[in-house]
Structure 1
Amino acid sequence: MNKLRDWLTIQPIVPAEDYGFFGPGSVTWKVWSYPTSLTIGFQRAVVIEELDPNLIAAVDKTSDIYKRPRTRYDRTLRYFAMVAFDDSRATTHAADVLVKIHSKAIGTDPVIGGTYDANDPASQLWIHLTAWHSILVAYEKYGPGKLSPAEEAQYWEECAVAAELQTCNPADVPRDREGVQAYFEAMRPHLVGSDIAKRAMNHLLQAEVMLPTMPLLLRPATRFITWFLRRGTLATMPRWMREMADLPTGRFLDAVALPFLSAAFTLVSLSSYLELILLRLLSPASVPVAARVLRAVPPTNPVTTTPREAQRRFGLANPRDAHVELRQRQYRRVFGEHASPSDEGLLESQSILGAIQ
């Protein structure tokens, strides 16, 4: 009983230093704070990402999504929540540490040959656009619907601002729906439905692997809900992607999921308390960040800034140019000495993104 009471209790919310990079008037807050975003939207993103052979090579090498899927999901979700909602100091430091973490995600691609590097600007652009596009797709399909033309233009401008936290060039971020579609079409010949990609995608579509161990009495209901989440995520994916990965393409089941999920998300969106309780199931580490937005807790300094301005203020480099010596050292270890990369950054990240285990 005490454990259940603790789980249902929202801890006191600590105000942020500032509004970060977007704030309450942003389309990012409007879209990302809706319950479709960190559920189906995020699940869609991490599933589609695996079609990039370089990305799945890094993912498969560590096997973290199989060994500790809940922890990996929780930490990744917290980072994206920080980008959207957290203050400028915390988020720029998180992005800086992420460059260190990615410095160890290098190696030889077992599917297409050549090398991969998680800090490669092209890989970072793929991850960034897949996430922002997936969040919007889920919002449109299962949430309030399409944004106005002005809101959508603002959304992609804000997506480009967020790209300043990555190693990619913000100028490469498309600024409209047509540009985003053109990007994915250009990527299509480079994507591969390899065996390791299919395995990862099927694994990540099982939402239950992201959840804590459920009491026996709740497991049937959990399987029911996670089936709808899986089906709902599949229904947002282009058919060519699903065919590439040998995923189900049935239109009937896609249609079955739509009214149930739309109604469920509408219901959840009516209560910030319910949103936070459900978010705790998926990503406990994201709750302190999202709670400030969902509960409208103002920061101590109600201003916004840009990642570039924050990086200068806090003495951090543009991610593209950050930690060059460490990245070169990792390259020498992996490709020159044929040794494992060091864990620099990974241990440091625990105080920012949550525990590894």
Structure 2
Amino acid sequence: MSNHDTVVPHEDYGFFGPDSVSWKVFLYPTALSIGFQRTVVTEMYEPFLLASVNDTGAVSKRPALRYDRTLQYMATVTFGDSVSVLKASDILVKIHSKITGTEPISGLRYDANDPEAQLWIHLTAWHSVLYTYEKFGPGKLSPEEERQYWVECARAAQFQTIDIADVPCSRAEMRAYYARMRPILTATEATQQHVEQLLDSASTLLPDSALWWPVAKLTQTLFRKGTIATLPRWMRKMGGVHQSPVTDALVTVLLRATFRLVAQSVAAQRFLIHTASPLTAPITDPILCAVAPKNPVVWTPEAARAHHGTVRPTDQYAQIRAARAEKTLPEHAAADGSAPLLPFA
């Protein structure tokens, strides 16, 4: 792991910057660890998303690589410079354009770029990161910080094929969104298999060696129990996972103390990110080390797209659908999650 002097600065602050609430929440060590694990577990209950994950086999065949790539994208949108974010957004839409198929229960088509599917992915991430920050970290944001957090959530949604009007603007609207989604959510045998695998996935992010084995098993146990402790009872029942209130309380205390300790050390945070997600490290290192970007400016999505000459993901998706209708794009293809989102030197 490099020292502070060799950390490569970003070109600019991207779309949030040091005064944003997003940086405050996503920079806390809960975000890219248990917050991320809660995200991917929760996502599996949406049947069309599950069908795409099950068909590609990305989670089951290459769990460590899929985690690394997805963490890379999440960190890029929050902490990366404007060029990196726009590039990641463009590539993500192109990768998702290859992921279409049939949801087996309803017989309806799924499309990974579908705005509703992307909204579910985006909101489960931003809600899970905030929820774990509150539960295992410093606690609730102030009312003003919380309002700003949801404003920034909508800003980040502009890098996916999401209708921004559908993004919740408050905690109450987020609850209403979950209430709307709950009748749609399901749990099949495939759901339970993926939930089970993802609950135990923390150990796959650490080196596979005898030296790391005790740490990997302890991390797996704590993250599994901690993630379950954040899930509502109905979701646990659907997913076939069970845990007592006593265990919920104990693991919450343990994880809160652990994350507080890690948060006090930049070196510890960098070490854990370099170990668990090497692709994410170049994105978070300049932020953790307080290395100023070459151009200390925060962009809006509109200004950055005009400056760099890129199109909105919604427009990009419209072009993809038009090409598909004309049969110039394949109607169904599989993507296994191994395609790189960003080439970091």
TM-score range, shorter chain: over 0.9
How far off is 1:249 after superposition? 3.4
Residue 175 of structure 1 corresponds to which residue in structure 2? Answer: 169
1:250–1:11 CA distance, 2 compared to 1 (3 A): farther
Q: Which runs of 4+ in 1 moved over 6 A?
A: 8-11
Q: How does 1:256-267 map to 2 (within 5 A)?
A: 256-267=250-261
Moved more, 21-30 or 280-289: 280-289
Match of 1:352 in 2: 342
Task: Identify the residue that residue 28 of structure 1 maps to in structure 2.
Answer: 22
Matched, 1:166 2:160: yes
Aligned to 1:81: 75
In 2 relative to 1, CA 114–149 (structure 1 residues): closer, same or farther, beyond 3 Å?
same
Counterpart in the other structure of 1:246? 240
Report the 3-state secondary structure (helix = DSSP H, G, I; strand = E; otherwise coil) of the residue aligned with 2:101.
strand
Alignment partner for residue 333 of structure 2, among 320, 324, 341? 341
User: 2:304 corresponds to which residue?
Assistant: 310
Specify the alignment match of 2:118 in structure 1. 124
Deviation at residue 28 of structure 1 after TM alignment: 0.2
Q: How many residues align?
A: 343
| C-alpha distance in 2 between matches for 1:56 and 1:13 | 38
Among 48, 53, 70, the residue aligned to 1:54: 48
Task: Give the 3 Å change call, closer, same or farther, for CA 9–204 of structure 1 in structure 2.
Answer: farther
Alignment of 1:285-304 (within 5 A): 285-304=279-298
Match of 2:197 among 193, 203, 207: 203
Q: Counterpart in 2 of 1:185?
A: 179
Structure 1: tracts of 5 or more residues without a match: 1-6
User: CA distance change for structure 1 residues 8 and 164 in 2, over 3 Å: closer, same or farther?
Assistant: closer
In the other structure, the counterpart of 1:37 is: 31
RMSD: 2.2
C-alpha distance in structure 2 between counterparts of 1:191 and 1:351, whole Å: 29
Mapped partners of 1:292, 1:285: distance in 2: 14
Task: Give, in angstroms, the shift of residue 241 of structure 1.
Answer: 1.0
Change (3 A) 1:199 1:330: farther
Query: Which position in structure 1 is the counterpart of 2:141?
Result: 147
Paired with 2:334 and 2:212, the residues of 1 have a C-alpha distance of: 41
Residue 82 of structure 2 corresponds to residue 71 of structure 1: no
Aligned residue number for residue 3 of structure 1: none
CA distances 1:243-290 after superposition (whole Å, capped 9, x unpaired): 111111321111120111111101100111110101122211001101
Q: What are the ranges of 5 or more consecutive residues in structure 2 without an aligned counterpart?
A: none
> Using the alignment, how far apart are the partners of 1:327 and 1:100 within structure 2?
12
SS state of the match for residue 165, structure 1? coil
Inter-partner Cα distance in structure 2 for 1:72 and 1:181 = 29
Partners of 1:313 and 1:346 lie apart in 2 by 30
Letter in 2 for 1:341: A
Deviation at 1:209, TM superposition (A): 5.0
3-state DSSP of counterpart to 2:110: strand
Describe the shift of the 1:165–1:115 C-alpha distance in structure 2 as closer, same or farther (beyond 3 A).
same
2:225 to 231, 236, 247: 231
Q: Displacement of 1:323 after TM fit?
A: 5.5
Task: Give the CA deviation at 1:105.
Answer: 1.0
- What is the letter of the counterpart of residue 163 of structure 2? N
Cα distance per residue 1:45-75 (max 9 Å; x no partner): 0110010000010000011111111001000
